[in-house]
A and B are shown apart, each in its own frame.
Chain A
Amino acid sequence: MEGNWACRVLGKAHEDATLNSLGEPLNNMLPGPAHIGGKQPDGIRYSEAYEISSFPFVTTYNQPMIIEMKFKGTVGDFDYSNQLSQFSAYRTYLATNTFKPNTSVLHGLYMILPANKNLSTSVKNACNLQNIPLFLSGVEYDPFDTNMIAVKPPELVNIDGLNYSYHTASFLGKAFVKYAAEQRVNDMFDYDEANIKDSFDDWADSFEALTLLPMLFDPCITDD
């Protein structure tokens, strides 16, 4: 019961409020696939890139950015050890559905964790191996109103391990590319404050109606 409560109320409330802060709808996968390697990310966005080509003159490439939120408390840096198959599925998708994946940085995995939580070296190394930009944002509470949360601006945490040579301004170096990539992700989302108490109340009501009440009236459940 406690696990259900944490998963179906606390986790969902965090997820809802975080998506509200980003300005993203729940389970936004459009126009992407419903599942990626059997896993469903919390969201996916596409960054458009263009190439001049023969008729019709411009080819648009949609570079995918998978959004994944993790709020379950773990000790130390987040290392994805409990969901390696999900991590692997996302990387495979990003590596195979991106134009010029080995030399560009418009795609990526966008991890959203509690404030001050970091990504482990193993997670960064795995992304580096497939040239996947790894963005990180923390979620923090408003110190003056703990009902409100906001997602902090994104940071590209593995620029040292990435190849960005396909970008025409790559000669400007990694500090420039890092800042430009972070700005691009920042411009995709809202980063507004969102009310987590409202989300919590909604999911608690839902949990009560769908899980607790049926148990209460279930004749098979007895008070032993």
Chain B
Amino acid sequence: MIKNLNFSGLLFLVVVLTIFVFSSCRKDKLGDVEKVHQETEIQTNSDLEFFLSREKTYDLLAPAAFNWERPINQVSNRNDEILELQTIITDINTQLNERYVTKLIYEVGYPLWDASVLQLLDDDGGYTLFTPVFKAGADKINALFIYTYSPNGKVAYSLTSREVMESNAAYLKDPNFLIKINLFQHFDELLFNYGPPIYEDWKVLAGNQNFIDCYAELIFRSEIGGPLIGDGVISCSDGCYDDIEESQAFDTQEEMAWIYGNCQYAGQFNKFLTDNANINSTQLNDATQFFIDLGMANNIISFQVYKGLMNEITTFFADPNDENIADLVEYFNDNNLDPLAFSTFTLNLLDPNLSASVPRLFWNDMNSGDYWGKSAQRRSDMIHDYES
């Protein structure tokens, strides 16, 4: 057929092909531009701003928690307390080089601020706030913030992931294990109608825990009602951890709030400081700061692994011979910790593909395609319809 084409026919064919090729390239080009635009849109929302935004996290998480109605009236009553919790998270984020919140998002997800539960303490002015954390598309919560403010000004802060809850059940060292089980159960049922029997098994285990010194229970006010009547939250009691309070390593309010909210770590720190009292003070301070940062930054390393690492390093400090060096490196490797990690955030991050960045991908979907360019109300309606 080509043979039969005259010059003008051939010219026409070339023109048509050129237009076809150009339009194909143009389409790809436009696609790239659109993609870049969306990526830019995402990048301009900082992780911290997104994490703290009650509206954005609500938009992101509400479709997964499709059984839950937003309690508008209660939300306004919790504003101050939620702001207090957000303030300490922001301060920790600043202290940890702006990476704390990013690590939280990567590892455990986003908080659903509006589902927070507030419990007033028997002591006037004191309270505890519980806020659930989960990834978009999840069928259960993934972590829990606990923030306690005592009338004497002491603040206790903790974040507990589901992975750490599972290790708590194995090792029973967390004095707040029982109340955390109650809260995980409460939020799972409230948000997802999820109620596995494992929680009842854990409660039996938690009931068998014996804690003696240095813990004080702050009882919730019974007349308030709510899901936790009769319970209380355990706090570190004053004066029990002299070595910690005297240590120069614990030198910020955020670090003290973290240690007060994680009493089992406080006992271990006291032991570490006592056991290593004879080593070079600079090295001891560096080691203590490493463990403070590790405790605050890593949300999925179990207390048992953490305690084991402290013990191995104590042995190494006492006698840094070849055998103890090999044992210490082996301990890192056996527990999926990287001895040459660049930061405490990545100490347990040997395979970045293991944790998918589900939340952001989900959020990206909600701002593109069919959702792109719609009014906030229309988009919200569409997001609500998404799961059904």
Question: Interface on A for B, CB 8 Å cutoff?
Answer: 49-58, 60, 100, 104-106, 166-169, 171-173, 175-177, 179-181, 183-184
Q: CB-nearest residue of chain B relative to A178?
A: B325
Q: Is the CB of B287 within 8 A of A55?
A: no
Q: How many residues of B contact A (CB 8 A)?
A: 37
Q: Is the CB of B347 within 8 A of A52?
A: no
How far is A54 from B326 in the complex, measured between Cα atoms in Å? 35
Q: Is the CB of A168 within 8 A of B357?
A: no
Q: Which residues of A contact B287 (CB under 8 A)?
A: 171
How far is A11 from B64 in the complex, measured between Cα atoms in Å? 64
Q: Which residues of A contact B313 (CB under 8 A)?
A: 172
Q: Which residues of A contact B326 (CB under 8 A)?
A: 179
Q: Is the CB of A56 within 8 A of B340?
A: no
Q: Is the CB of B328 within 8 A of A172?
A: yes
Q: Is the CB of B340 within 8 A of A180?
A: yes
Q: Which residues of B contact A177 (CB under 8 A)?
A: 340
> Which of A54, A166, A179 contacts B102 (CB under 8 A)?
A54
How far is A55 from B102 in the complex, measured between Cα atoms in Å? 8
How far is A179 from B329 in the complex, measured between Cα atoms in Å? 8
How far is A166 from B97 in the complex, measured between Cα atoms in Å? 14
How far is A39 from B316 in the complex, measured between Cα atoms in Å? 43
26 contacts between A and B (CB under 8 A): A49-B346, A50-B352, A51-B342, A51-B343, A51-B345, A52-B99, A52-B349, A53-B102, A56-B357, A56-B360, A57-B105, A57-B360, A58-B346, A105-B340, A106-B340, A168-B293, A168-B344, A169-B339, A169-B341, A171-B287, A172-B328, A176-B320, A176-B339, A177-B340, A179-B329, A180-B329
Q: CB-nearest residue of chain B relative to A105?
A: B340
Which of B39-47, B158-166, B215-223, B262-270 is the contact stretch?
Answer: B39-47
Q: Is the CB of B106 within 8 A of A176?
A: no
Q: Kindly list 11 other residue pairs between chains A and B, CB separation below 8 angstroms, not including A50-B349, A168-B341.
A: A52-B345, A52-B346, A57-B360, A58-B346, A168-B290, A172-B328, A176-B328, A176-B329, A180-B329, A183-B329, A183-B339
Q: Is the CB of B352 within 8 A of A58?
A: yes
Q: Is the CB of B325 within 8 A of A175?
A: yes
